[in-house]
Amino acid sequence: MSKDIVSTYDELVDAVQEARYRYYVLSDPGMSDQDFDALFKKLEQLEKENPSLIRPDSPTQQVGPPPGSAFLPYRHLAPMQSLDNAFNREELDDFFARIIQKIGAQKIAYVCEPKIDGVAINLIYRKSVLEKAITRGNGTVGEDVTLQVRTIVDVPKRLNSARNVDLIEIRGEIYFPLKEFAEMNEARIAEGEAAFMNPRNAASGALRQKDPSITAKRPLRFLAHSLGGAYSLEGESTISLNPESFFPSHSDFLAWADQAGFSVPKPIKKAVSSDETWQAIEYFTAERHNFAYEIDGVVIKVDELSLHQQLGSTARAPRWAIAYKIPALEKETKLISIEVNVGRTGKVTPYAVLEPVTLAGVTISRATLHNEDQIHLKDVREGDTVIVRRAGDVIPEVVKAITERRPENLSIWSMPERCPFCHEPLVKPLGEANHYCENIDCPNRVVESLIHFCSKSAMDIETLGEKTIVVLHDMGILSNVADIFKLHVSVPVLENLEGWGSKKIDNLLNAIENSKQKPLDRLLVALNIRHVGSVATKELTAHFPTLDSIRHAGREQLCMISGVGEKIADSLITWFSNKNNSRLLEELTELGVRTDVDIQLKKGDHTAPLAGKTFVITGTFSGMTRDEIKEKLESMGAKTTGSVSKNTTALLVGSDPGGKLEKAISLGVEIMREGDLEKLFAV
């Protein structure tokens, strides 16, 4: 065997070991998930071709890195293994072929479930009472984090189960819910603190706090996905029971865990063939952004537990299960340059111009860098190799520079002193992390304001899109939002635009006219008042039903409103005291834009017909848009949310509903179809 192969092998082992240590112990990965998977696969392939190379300390022979020194070590009663990965259908079919070869050609039932990207944990219950919580560690020895895990609200401290077993191990993942993760990062960015790279790192960091009270401040959650083992105690002896004597199948275990008080993967898909398994993978891939937690794959398990014993395992992974890895949310690419954009409120946002990279099926060439403080905290520089992340509908962001691969003499980036669009000085208010262009006539700020004013969440002038707004602004026809309501005098100009016929012009003018009757809260959202979003405007208009009453409200009155607070109150007072803004409001009023609440029933009115009820809307509706349904429900006193829970009154289901329907069914939540809306709105 050549020295080059041995040298390459040693380098690969060291590189993978270092990456695993940084990922699992330090919660500071030095490469993207996809690049780590590629590196690990390269090591596996080299060992497959040269089996005599394999070292006992090779990562392919281990589950995880050695436990850290922050917590006491604890030896697992049964090994806590990792899973082998499949990256395409061919590798998945190889997994099925190996199982059939081992146990003979027969119909085998599989369970397919979402793979949570969290922190693996082992919970030990003695006589139904939580005794220990142990990290996976190296699969044999983990760390005792019992005090930290006890602070997690959905980890049962006592099992709700009549089953008689002395000792049971429940395995699962601790995760950081996506909604709370996004909110936490937004708050950290606004305060000039470093954002967490991803939910998994945030969960790991919270769990590794020595002080459990710090862990308790993070909204961690637990999801049970596997039975570690069931044991009988006789004196000082611990006797392992056959899992199948306790649960015939993995799906039986999940049903029991659900009744015992655990959150479990939902939905799961059962399959008896490669085609059905692939359909389940396609389903979870399409629905990955509809889960409350982040998923990075689909776990396929043989359902019958007796077959687990027959199939056995390798040194690091069971032969009866595999994880299919779905397209990565993170990738490495090169940061070519850092540019800045000026938004509708004047906020200046730096962004990265990237070498194009495909993430979850979308080509990314730009990603946000949030603000100058974040760039310096992450030490991101033009010319760096960076990790880019895209999750769901969230704007792609640069989460990390790989400084180990940084070319020499890259300069530290700093915010330009002047706005690149109007050349006015940029200002960074005291106590804020963001810079602003204070010039309300800044051309880019005006364009962004116009686009936002017409957007679906604001005045919903659908026909007036971004491209048309840019063209009309460049022609001098749209210089502020009031000009939108004067477009009827510019019909001759519109007729000369490419693709604009009489029907399209009529649709635009009708949309503009209809927008005048939008409720006051939508107008407030459309006006680009800093820090004032849709939640705050609904609370405001519930207390002050006219624009004049809001304008003349004092700071103390505004601060007393739930969801407003000092920052929003100050922003409202500052905006309304600006003479240009006052003139704009007068002009909008003269043009017929409504400035009061157009509903008789306001939020908080306990006499409203749907007061106290909570609805979730999913799918596509033919008669009304989802926003229109939401608006109607809220006008009747109801609350609308984005996720189904036990507190949901009903799920309103249109066509192509996605995963929320199955969750509602599993929780016993009432299902209402489009045909039920008329009856609902008639109460």
| 400 annotated active-site | no
Dihedral (CA of 240, 245, 246, 251) sign: positive
Task: State phi, psi for 345 to the nearest 5 degrees.
Answer: -90, 0
For tokens 């050695």, name the residue. Answer: 66
Q: How far does the chain reach from its first CA to its final CA, in angstroms?
A: 81
Pairing of strands 129-135, 119-126: antiparallel
Report whether 222 contacts 265 (CB < 8 A).
Answer: no
Catalytic residue among 41, 102, 107, 115: 115
Q: CA 50 to CA 642: how far, in whole Å?
A: 52
Q: Which of 109, 432, 485, 140 is nearest to 276 (CA)?
A: 109
Report whether 153 contacts 177 (CB < 8 A).
Answer: no
DSSP string, 551-593: HT--HHHHHTSTTTHHHHHHHHHHHHH-HHHHHHHHHHHHTT-
Helix, strand, or coil (residue 339): strand
For residue 361, is it left (φ>0), alpha (ψ between -120 and 50) or beta?
left
Q: CA 148 to CA 232: how far, in whole Å?
A: 27
Residues 6+ apart with CB under 8 A from 660: 290, 616, 618, 643, 644, 651
For tokens 């992450």, name the residue. Answer: 378
Q: CA 306 to CA 249: how far, in whole Å?
A: 8
Q: CA 300 to CA 544: how far, in whole Å?
A: 55
Q: Which of 309, 307, 269, 272 is nearest to 107 (CA)?
A: 272
Report whether 130 contacts 155 (CB < 8 A).
Answer: yes
Residue 139 neighbours by CB distance under 10 Å: 18
Task: State phi, psi for 69 to the nearest 5 degrees.
Answer: -100, 5
For tokens 């996506």, name the residue. Answer: 178
Q: CA 532 to CA 525: how far, in whole Å?
A: 7
343, 345, 347, 353: CA torsion to nearest 10: -10
Q: Which of 125, 132, 74 is nearest to 233 (CA)?
A: 125
| Gyration radius (Cα) of the chain, Å | 29
Q: CA 678 to CA 680: how far, in whole Å?
A: 5
Report whether 141 contacts 76 (CB < 8 A).
Answer: yes
Point out the residues that are catalytic.
Answer: 115
